[in-house]
Amino acid sequence: MLSSFRRAARAGFTLIELLVVIGIIAILAVVVFVALDPATRFEDARDTVRQSDVQEILSAVKIDQVDNSGAYATDIAATTAGQVYMIGTATTGCNATCETAVSSATNCVDLAELVTDGYLAEVPVSPNGTGTWGATLSGYTLQRDATGILTIRACESENTDEIEVAR
């Protein structure tokens, strides 16, 4: 009877055994958290949104151009070839910090015509990473060369090279 009593008393875990198990679980949790690196995942997600936005803007501009017999929307046609323009409604302060610099503080191009004509639901705004974008500046730039090729760029990218598309 005494031996069965001793066995019953030793059926649980000691404090040391519990602390060792909790320590191992904590170390595994830290390793998994570091491996997943949520900050990098958020940066990748914002870059994906930016890539999608530049594609959407360029597609809208080109579809509008096709529908209008090769003519660009009014504000795009008014841009100077080779100059980089911030997409937005501001008239000054357009040379916000971008990976490819905007040519002048007054170089803004308003794409509201594409929204009005139904080519864009709204002018996209870059997700907030390191820049400050909002109502008047989109965080995207437009450049037209002398041959009519348009380049749309994101002002910032977090985990990739500069985000741009050209057609």
Same-domain status, 68 and 150: yes
Same-domain status, 28 and 71: no
Domain count, the chain: 2
Same-domain status, 6 and 47: no
How far, in Å, CA of 26 to CA of 5, rounded? 35
For residue 35, what are its two tokens? 């491996």
Angle (nearest 5°) at CA 98 between 97 and 99:
135
Same-domain status, 62 and 10: no
Q: Which residues of the chain have pLDDT under 50?
A: none
Question: What's the pTM value of the predicted model, to 2 decimals?
Answer: 0.80
How far, in Å, CA of 110 to CA of 67, rounded? 19
Same-domain status, 128 and 155: yes
Angle (nearest 5°) at CA 61 between 108 and 50:
70
Domain limits at 21? 2-35
